[in-house]
Chain A
């Protein structure tokens, strides 16, 4: 009797596993074909000198990797990624939070602001890239025109290596600030209304409520917003590729644009794979370190 019941349990478990395998199969196949295999393949290709098409494929071991480590352009690109990362976090999150606070305090009357502020997020990065390429054009662009009103001359923001990166970062912030606004609005609604009521009854002004009560409660949300912004900044590609293509010179080059140009413009796929691999490793490393730092602080 006992034996039978055990086998029944085993049977049920086997059945569960079988159904689970069946349900997980499509996702497993897709991820293997389009994510896991390509990652492995990229690292293998990084050992070759190869244009990706011809049969002329030469194994050079770690040759590409030592080239990458000595490659100034790649490290400039990485540095640019880090600049974008830091400035994005420093600009988007405070502005996003300020906008969300304004909407939270103002209530329903201010919906019109919310709607208009949200619109940049509806546009694709590519379209934004094009729009701003024209809006920032030296001749007849938006900024040049406005500078003209104040007696200034034409301004070439994107063509000047000194201002190009900052300009692109401001465009990125223009695009993504609404995202953080909505994000923080959701965080505000998660603060129970009682907390606000209690603070007001105790005589706190709105300002005091914000700085002493709401802000500390929002710290976890700010941390995850920072992580989101960080991972996004390191992967950044579309908008910059459209606006500057990494130029002028290497002033707005990113890891992703550098990888793309190496692989699909100069057809240096062996080295392009190495850049992609390096990018993957750096992103994983930076993500792990940041998450550790942020989570470590949470416990302290």
Chain B
């Protein structure tokens, strides 16, 4: 019984230490956000005069209104358009490719699959110069349309990887019975496989959606004028405009984070699962 008490005491001490660490990490995690939101409501000099942790004099929305009227919506819409088109095409193409790789029996299936999956570790930077030159020569440079191709292409490997393993788990019998009923391979894809793969597609939409929404390298290289830039570059553009006005930049940052926070509140577990989908490989 003495031993039991000792263990009990030890476990309480362990929990206290764990909680101290947990609270410390929580402070570390959210401190920058508090800094960001708090200062986004301040006036230009208020922050410098009164220090970063002072509450603002009043809830001062002028930074936000100025950002929102200063072209923020253009960046936002650009991001939405690029994301929507890229994501729809990506999911369609990736499921098209995964279907034969998962369900057909042909000699090249394994090598093709291995080749596509191997592309996962290719750094985007090796393609940056040629893609930049292609965009220049096709006249797509400095338009949001230049981003769609590379966005889809670089999301394909992981998507095919996940969808193929997902489609492999659809029971064979479903396909067989449909085949007996005279369903062709193409019809099978649209009427059976695609609907059954929906959960996999949802995960992929979240994973790739977040990545595309935050993508920087291609967007920075392939666009130039602020009318054609996406949201991650908005901060860049605003910084050029208001370099000394820290509260203004904080307002921009808060606004770029806001859509993600809203999604996080609505789809918490799905989002968390989707965002780490890339790591599910063993």
Contacts and interface: CB of A to CB of B under 8 A. Distances in A.
Interface in A81-121: 95, 98-99, 102, 110, 113, 115-121
Given A30-B149, A120-B29, A224-B279, A235 B124 contact: yes
Interface residues of A, number: 89
Contacts of B201: none
A294 B272 CA distance: 27
B16 interface: no
A119 B129 contact: no
Given A34-B154, A123-B257, A237 B130 contact: no
Contact of B150 (A27, A34, A279): A34
A27 B96 contact: yes
A24 B249 CA distance: 45
Contacts of A121: 275
A19 B152 contact: no
A24 B93 CA distance: 8
A279 to B, nearest CB: 6
A42 B126 contact: yes
A277 interface: yes
A259 B129 CA distance: 10
A186 B222 CA distance: 37
Contacts of A249: none
Contact of A280 (B30, B122, B185, B214): B122
Interface string B103-145: 0111001001000100101111111111111101000000000
B33 interface: yes
Contacts of A178: 29
Interface in A215-237: 220, 224-225, 228, 231, 234-235, 237
Contacts of B128: 259-260, 263, 276
Contacts of B280: 186
B126 A45 contact: no
A182 B126 contact: no
A174 B112 CA distance: 38
A224 B129 contact: no
A248 interface: no
Contacts of B52: 140-142, 145
A17 B51 CA distance: 68
Interface size class of B (residues with CB under 8 A): 35 or more
A26 interface: yes
Contacts of A26: 93, 96-97
A20 B106 contact: yes
A196 interface: no
A141 B31 CA distance: 12
Contacts of A41: 129-130
A183 interface: yes
Interface stretch (B62-70, B170-178, B260-268): B260-268
A110 B97 CA distance: 42
A95 to B, nearest CB: 7
Interface centre among B7, B32, B275 (most CB of A within 10 A): B32
A283 interface: yes
Nearest to B260: A122
A119 to B, nearest CB: 6
A39 B213 contact: no
B166 interface: no
Interface centre among B123, B213, B261 (most CB of A within 10 A): B123
Contacts of A224: 279, 281-282
A228 B121 CA distance: 10
15 contacts: A23-B96, A30-B152, A33-B153, A34-B153, A35-B122, A39-B127, A118-B264, A119-B261, A122-B261, A123-B257, A126-B235, A130-B239, A139-B48, A224-B282, A235-B124
B51 A140 contact: yes
A134 interface: yes
A160 interface: no
Interface string A9-34: 00001011101101110110011011
A161 interface: no
A16 B104 CA distance: 7
Interface centre among B11, B109, B213, B260 (most CB of A within 10 A): B260
Nearest to B51: A145
B217 A179 contact: no
A130 B121 contact: no
Nearest to B90: A30
A269 B136 CA distance: 14
A52 interface: yes
Nearest to B151: A34
